[in-house]
Amino acid sequence: MNFKLGMRIPPKIGSEGIEKAAKWASGIQLDVLDVPALTPEVKRNCDTAGIGIGSVDAVHMSQLLSKDDSRRANAVEEVKKQMTEMAPLGGRVMFMCLVPEDHSLPRRESFAIWKDTFPDLIRHAEREGVGHGQVKWDQVAVRLERIGYRGAISIELEDHRYWGSIESERQGIVKAVEHLELYFK
């Protein structure tokens, strides 16, 4: 396979701690692990397990689109700090799910806040060598290499049949790996 294959840590597997999650993921031949935070401890556990760092979840995501200027400014500074701290540890992709703090905020206002807020974040990310993962949901069923994608592929455990226990989550991840290996032959 030409792509690095990884996973977001499902809740039950994550409840065992980063050391066990990293060892298990490496044991089923995953290449990277998406982590909620990248700390020296997380990096050390992943290195020991022989697995790389995939994406790192951004902090204060909803506050980045807050109507409150001070909350938004604080969120921007915290995300920039996070980028600066994760870069030396090998964090190169930050995961963001941009949903406004106020869910009733009209899209026009959300986009205006985004347009005002994100140039500073993007400049900082570029200085730190950090990128932002993006999913084009209308294109996930196509062959990724045909749309020019060359990054890591992460598995999110969305199939409810594999929820409920650590063993069920593990079975779901293994099944997804097998599926993706066939897909990318």
CA–CA gap between residue 142 and residue 62 (Å, rounded): 30
CA–CA gap between residue 43 and residue 89 (Å, rounded): 7
CA–CA gap between residue 182 and residue 33 (Å, rounded): 21
What is the count of structural domains for the chain? 1
Angle, helices 18-27/40-49, rounded to nearest 10 degrees:
30
pLDDT of residue 155: 53
**Whether the predicted model's global pTM rises above the 0.85 cut:** no
The 3-state DSSP class for residue 35 equals strand
Q: What angle do CA 127, 54, 121 make, to 5 degrees?
A: 30
Q: Check if the beta carbon of residue 67 is closer than 8 Å to that of residue 113.
A: yes
pLDDT of residue 143: 47
Residue 17 domain boundaries: 5-183
Residue 63's CATH number = 3.20.20.150
pLDDT of residue 38: 96
- Supply 27's token pair: 């044991």
Q: Check if the beta carbon of residue 38 is closer than 8 Å to that of residue 91.
A: yes
CA–CA gap between residue 113 and residue 73 (Å, rounded): 11
Show pLDDT as tens, one digit a residue, over the chain (185 residues): 466 888 888 888 889 999 999 999 999 888 999 999 999 999 999 999 999 999 899 999 889 999 999 999 999 999 999 999 999 999 988 888 888 889 888 888 988 999 999 889 889 998 998 876 555 444 444 444 554 555 555 555 555 565 667 777 677 666 666 656 655 55
Q: At residue 57, what are phi and psi to the nearest 5 degrees?
A: -70, 130
Angle, helices 107-128/69-86, rounded to nearest 10 degrees:
30
CA–CA gap between residue 38 and residue 126 (Å, rounded): 18
